[in-house]
Chain A
């Protein structure tokens, strides 16, 4: 199939940037979206045009590196799918496709479709862990965890930290990302000791980074390639209240 692409091009963080139009020719419907871009990049290089810079690594939907807004939707039209796993069979010959980077103040563009997501790492560093050093831990089976709790913790832990939730949110809120980590530990006995400090510190860092707040539009859940549920945001809100209300 042949496609018309409108792609965001921006030299570096200081460049203003603009949309450019390219033709993608002879695209097979078995290609992944990123393989389609590989082909376009080879075609651009032939014409001495700088290839389109975009983030990618594992290309199997788990590393969280790829980050394209396709026709206004982070990761494109398929539910529960990263853009690296989006295949061209979901498009048809003659389609026009708009490709943009994540748009959020806390995720500045570094080049073309590549953004800086280090704000997520700083939120994690503010409390997204159980403070346990290597060694001296009890036997793994010493503490039974009800399967239901372990499964719920795993549902939350499935977050790949790609940032699609932020890109989808009109407030550029990182609440889904933060709540996934807060909830994972809130459901596990290992997370109890730092439960109050964790939610407070991570949320404080989130605000400091310039992410907005949640106003319950649920766009994040719709865009999330791992289909993390907004119920975890509710859980985080309860955790936050609990941290504020309960005395030490």
Chain B
């Protein structure tokens, strides 16, 4: 199968406009005849479901939480980028595009990334119109700040709760459509399989998490907006419920999975404190605007931070990257922290952490200004650690945060299964090998508000609707498989809980497929994962039944999919024998320890085709063609 990204011809800046003109439209009176299923209710799913319903399509939306308002987009803190150039500081659509391509280390698709930068400006207009209370200046206009890796101030924010406010905006639009009956909402409902009929996505099989009932839903198109797979590491900044099941089940039904090894490790999280830890908490990267990162120059320096004199501190980011300093991109900041700790200069009780120090900023700007900018983050830090960051420097360490990889999609956001569209973090297309700060919210909303409403119309108009219903044998077959799987989980009768398997998998992945990877380690992981999977299927313990609210059972299903998915991730990391962006292969680094790309051999998207559990997936390559930008080596010195 040849992967066709369906990139429109013509100059970069005109592709999206000409594509919009060339796409077919669905007559307003006919829109109600088309059904869409949207799985996930975060920024991408919520905005898509609302917008499609506004246009007149019949929409069903599913989420595993008790309300669509709780999707994990809500936890994004720092902000959302848009090429508004309100600050008159040299920003433009082209600059946002270029920064995103460069930040992604030249592993994303030019056309998709350019479109993202283009529609970024509409997103801010849309959110303001919805009543999203962005931060403002005294004159009443919108405030901006500069954010990780950018030299212009293009980030819009709502205190440290930008994701929450944007999600509540999308949720309010969605809820308005639910109220008028245009969207049928299914909360506490988990998608357990995709149904494909005659090569086209036709619906999904779901489990009602309260009653345990398995049921099917049919539609003319299925949209997955189910987020990333960061919880493959067990400990991550993701919500505990985030999982790979929807996208992985679709993968098993024929959707190719692209670049699974591109996982972003966020540099500013609160370090782990013990084995019981269930998640890691992110402190917004915006903190790096005013905080200075340092470790002691001396190894094993046990003095409390305020007793370490200025000239015995190593502000290593400022030293190594003078022009970007503490704002160096996420992958670089993360690896530098790991290097400092591996070098024996880590701080805190576990020695796995570095300082993020606000004392200079407090002296310069005053405590009130700092409190106004970061007050809620400082409070959160104190709640978790019991330490006051106004007085003692914060301790931070990198943690798994975002996954750039995802289901392969073309320019229309359609996967390799016709009729299956993938939005937001769940797809792979816009961030390449590394995502810039404040770009996840932008992409989720771009896909949901401004891309899918156009491309799905074109799909409907070209392929028509059909009379496939849930009575079709493919639905019955998928339902039977899901029911069988539930029975299997319950019948093993072993000794270990799903959580214990998940923790063990997380350790393997963090060790061998985390911040830095090498061939020997990845091969080791590829030996260990199938063994762990075998143990899982022979020693799993689930209490209760399938016909009730059963959180152990829910978790077992998710862990089972992670145990298969993790293997594909390692194959991908092994195949990509270069370093790029967040994918750091120790074999490929410069003398200074920077990632060394290999553009001659690896300027492609690795799209994996499922070939059966335990067998190596087939690799398909989509060459990345850069017509507008030239390969450059990132330099943040």
Could you tell me which A residues sit within 8 Å of B by CB distance? Answer: 11-12, 28, 30-32, 34-35, 38-39, 42, 45, 48-51, 53, 55-65, 78, 80-81, 85-87, 89, 110-111, 114, 116-118, 120-121, 124-126, 128-135, 137-141, 143-147, 150-151, 153-154, 157-158, 160-161, 184-185, 188, 190-191
Distance in angstroms between the alpha carbons of A190 and B75 in the assembled complex: 25
Residue among A89, A125, A144 with the highest chain B CB neighbour number at 10 A: A125
Q: Known interface pairs A135-B126, A191-B131. Does A85 touch B384 (Cβ–Cβ under 8 Å)?
A: yes
- B residues 259-278 touching A (CB-CB < 8 Å): 273-274, 276-278
Residues A145 and B136 in contact in the complex (CB < 8 Å), given A30-B273, A58-B239, A60-B281: yes
Residue of A nearest to B48 (CB): A134
Residues on the B chain within 8 Å of A158, using CB: 159, 161, 164
- B133 near A153 with CB under 8 A, answer yes
Residue B371 CB within 8 A of the other chain? no
Q: Flag if B279 contacts A60 (CB, 8 Å).
A: yes
A137 touches B125 (CB 8 A): yes
CB-nearest residue of chain B to A152: B133
Chain A, residue nearest B160 (CB):
A62
A128 near B172: Cβ-Cβ < 8 Å: yes
Say whether B67 contacts A188, CB under 8 Å: no
Residue numbers in B under 8 Å from A128 (CB-CB): 172, 175
B544 cross-chain contacts in A, Cβ below 8 A = 50
User: Once the chains bind, are A38 and B549 in contact (CB under 8 Å)?
Assistant: no
B139 at interface by CB-CB < 8 Å: yes
Could you say which of B86, B125, B126, B176 contacts A125, with CB atoms under 8 Å apart? B176
Cβ of B453 under 8 Å from chain A:
yes
**Other-chain residue from A64, A121, A141 in contact with B178 (beta carbon distance below 8 A):** A121
Binary flags per residue of B173-191, CB closer than 8 Å to A gives 1, else 0: 1011011000001010000
Find chain B residues with CB under 8 A from A80 CB: 379
Query: How far apart are B604's CB and chain A's nearest CB, in angstroms?
Result: 34
Contact indicator A59/B240 (Cβ below 8 Å)? yes
Give the nearest-CB partner of A80 in chain B: B379
B280 to chain A, nearest CB (A): 9
Chain A residue at smallest Cβ distance from B379: A80
Verify B140–A133 contact, CB threshold 8 A. no
Shortest C-beta distance, A205 to chain B (Å), equals 9
Greatest chain B CB density within 10 A among A80, A134, A141, A147 is at: A134
- 16 more A-B residue pairs beyond the given contacts A30-B273, A51-B543, A129-B176, with a C-beta to C-beta distance below 8 A: A60-B279, A62-B163, A65-B65, A80-B379, A121-B67, A124-B172, A125-B178, A125-B179, A138-B125, A138-B129, A140-B124, A154-B159, A157-B165, A157-B168, A161-B67, A188-B131
A157 proximity list for chain B (CB < 8 A): 133, 158, 165, 168
In the complex the two chains form, is A130's CB within 8 Å of B386's CB? no
Q: In the complex the two chains form, what is the Cα distance from A239 to B50 in whole Å? A: 28
A135 and B122 contacting across the interface, CB-CB below 8 Å:
yes
Which residues, 579 to 634 on B, are CB-close (under 8 Å) to A?
none
Kindly state whether residue B84 has any CB partner on chain A within 8 Å.
Answer: yes
Assembled-state Cα–Cα distance A65/B67 (Å)? 9
Contact of A38 among B131, B138, B276, B386 (CB under 8 A): B276
Let me know if B70 and A12 touch, CB within 8 A.
no
Query: Contact: B175 with A141, CB < 8 Å?
Result: no
| Neighbouring B residues of A160 by C-beta, 8 Å | 164
- The answer to whether the Cβ of B551 comes within 8 Å of any Cβ in the partner chain is yes
Q: Tell me whether B70 and A63 are in contact (CB under 8 A).
A: yes
The answer, among A87, A111, A116, A188, for a CB contact under 8 Å with B384, is A87
What distance in Å separates the Cβ of B387 from its nearest Cβ neighbour in chain A? Answer: 11
Closest chain A CB from B168 CB (angstroms)? 7
Closest Cβ of chain A: how far from B602's Cβ, in Å? 35
Task: Looking at the assembled complex, report how far the CB atom of B73 sits from the nearest CB atom of chain A, in whole angstroms.
Answer: 10
Whose C-beta in chain A lies nearest to the C-beta of B241? A57
Can you list 27 residue pairs at the A/B interface with Cβ under 8 Å? Answer: A12-B549, A30-B273, A35-B277, A42-B499, A42-B500, A45-B541, A48-B543, A49-B543, A53-B549, A53-B551, A57-B72, A57-B241, A65-B65, A87-B384, A120-B67, A130-B130, A131-B176, A135-B122, A135-B126, A140-B127, A141-B84, A144-B141, A146-B136, A147-B137, A151-B136, A154-B158, A158-B159
Residues of B within 8 A of A131 (CB): 176
What 1/0 flags go to B525-569 for Cβ under 8 Å of A? 000000000000000010110001101100000000000000000
Question: B374 in the interface, Cβ–Cβ < 8 Å?
Answer: no
Q: Is the CB of A140 within 8 A of B386?
A: no
Closest to A185 in B: B131
CA distance A160 to B278 in the complex (A): 21
Judge whether A129 and B172 touch: CB under 8 Å.
yes
Interface membership of B47, Cβ < 8 A: yes
Q: Which listed residue, A34, A38, A65, A78, touches B499 by the CB 8 Å rule?
A: A38
Interface residue? B450 (CB, 8 A): yes
Residues of B within 8 A of A120 (CB): 67
CA–CA, A27 and B278, complex, Å: 14
A28–B172 Cα distance when bound, in Å, is 40
CB distance from B226 to the nearest CB of A (A): 14
A28 with B276: CB separation less than 8 A: yes
A34 to chain B, nearest CB (A): 7
Residues of chain A lying within 8 A (CB to CB) of residue B68: 121
Q: Kindly state whether residue B69 has any CB partner on chain A within 8 Å.
A: yes
Residues of A within 8 A of B497 (CB): 42, 45
Contact in complex: B274, A30 (CB < 8 Å): yes
Measured CA separation A120–B135 after assembly (Å) = 27
Q: How far is the CB of A35 from chain B (nearest CB, A)?
A: 5
Does A62 lie within 8 Å of B161, measured CB to CB? yes
Residues of B within 8 A of A34 (CB): 278
Q: Are B66 and A132 in contact (CB under 8 A)?
A: no
Could you tell me the distance between the alpha carbons of A59 and B242 in the complex, rounded to whole angstroms? Answer: 12
Taken together as a complex, chains A and B put the C-alpha atoms of A134 and B165 apart, in Å, by 17
Q: Is residue B306 within 8 Å, beta carbon to beta carbon, of the partner chain?
A: no
Interface string of B103-130 (1 = CB under 8 A from A): 0000000000000000000101111111
Q: What residues of chain A lie closer than 8 Å to B551, measured between beta carbons?
A: 51, 53
B56-68 vs A, Cβ < 8 Å mask (1 yes, 0 no): 0000000001111
Residues on A with C-beta less than 8 A from B278 are 32, 34-35, 38, 59
Chain A nearest CB from B283 CB (Å) reads 10
Alpha-carbon gap, A125 to B241, bound state (A): 25
Question: In the complex, A28→B275 CA distance in Å?
Answer: 10
